[in-house]
Amino acid sequence: MTLLEIFPSLRSGGMPPRLDSAIWPRDTHYDDAGRITIGGVALADIADQYGTPTYVLAEREVRERCRAYRAAFPEAEIYYAGKALMIKAVADWVTEEGLSVDVCSAGELAVALAAGVEPARIILHGNGKSFDELEVAVQVGVGRIVIDSLAEITLLSALVADSQQVMLRLSPGIDVHGHPAVVTGVTDQKFGFPLGSDAAAEAVARILRQPKLRLVGFHCHLGSQICDPDYYGEAIRRMVAEMAGVRDDHDHLLTHLDIGGGHGVPYRCGDAEMNLTDLAAIVEDALDAACARRGFPRPVIAIEPGRAIVARAGVTLYRVRSVKHIDGGHTYVTVDGGMSDNPRVALYGARYSVVVANRHPTGPHMTATVAGRFCEAGDILATDVQLPADLRPGEVLAMPCTGAYHHSLASSYNSVGRPPIVAVRKGVSRELVRRETMSDLLSRDIGR
């Protein structure tokens, strides 16, 4: 029996407009029954087949966003930032579209290699890389390793048998005025070396003294959810000046400059986002001006989009478990997921929109708070969202723009298994990552 049979009122008499492609996959539509479809598959059908919560991932959206970056930056090296969502299918899709892959742990490296990514197309990041992680990266032949501390120089010099390309991460001292947890370009933070500091100069000198380490360039990352491209222009000007200093002081030419990622995406209608055309123009202008001023050969630019590739390709499905109206207070719609599958609300105060997926409501709406099922007062998924006043338990809710940092940050809090990832394309759904089961959780518990 389907939800339409249980709730006849779910049927819609007309075709509503398409959902906003700024936050939904571009092939999101409504079918004749008023149900939301992505990639030609009804989300309500996915909920019935795979259960809820479930992450839905639109393959076409991922591929098209890769192509948009390739078109905007035809001469740049584009690395997909795997920490946003590192699974084998996504690694496969992005490399097929011409991108390379950025990893920041041995686990992410293992996923990329399992997906068949060529080691030479992988760059390894991280501010606390272990000896074992560096050893594996050297052994498999990753293309570049970004050095984040003096200790890593010592470790790599002992591990590399032949030659290894490295970059040095610098903090250019640029504050993008975002959430403190995602601002990484300021001087006083855990990543890299402050640009122009004695520590940075010492790191350069140490690397250049190691014949097996080939310092090919500098790396920086300004933060996340940046929508103003001017920050990247300023970063380029400062970094090129530092590269020219290395040439002048050490007679060593750095040929690559990685300006990181962090390009902003909208999570709700009306939110700002990074304009790739504007970003590309500012990068070009800043490179031309900085290189001309310093008499420095134009370096190869690398960028690292992650969230901007996968965020809008993802939609999370939940089932309503209860609707609770508090006299003089809020209306709480409790669903079967929450902070274990989407911790970003609790971590960063992220805000999302939520809609009913199994029907297009035509009646009155209510202002509601969507609450998670976990035993924490802070387990709230969305506040002040408009949902049908006649919403009932069993209906399916969809939360868009959940492709990035949801599966990656998911936990098994309250011993609840993590959701599956289901891909949709051309009317077909397929499971990419299965749901975590009770057996999975118990398999790690050795007992007394």
Q: Residue type at 53?
A: P
From 104, 227, 269, 375, active-site residue = 375
Catalytic residue status for 375: yes
Taking alpha carbons only, the member of 14, 43, 16, 18 closest to residue 28 is 18
Single-letter amino acid code for the residue at 218: F
Residue 362 and residue 13 in contact, taking contact as beta carbons nearer than 8 Å: yes
Catalytic site positions: 375
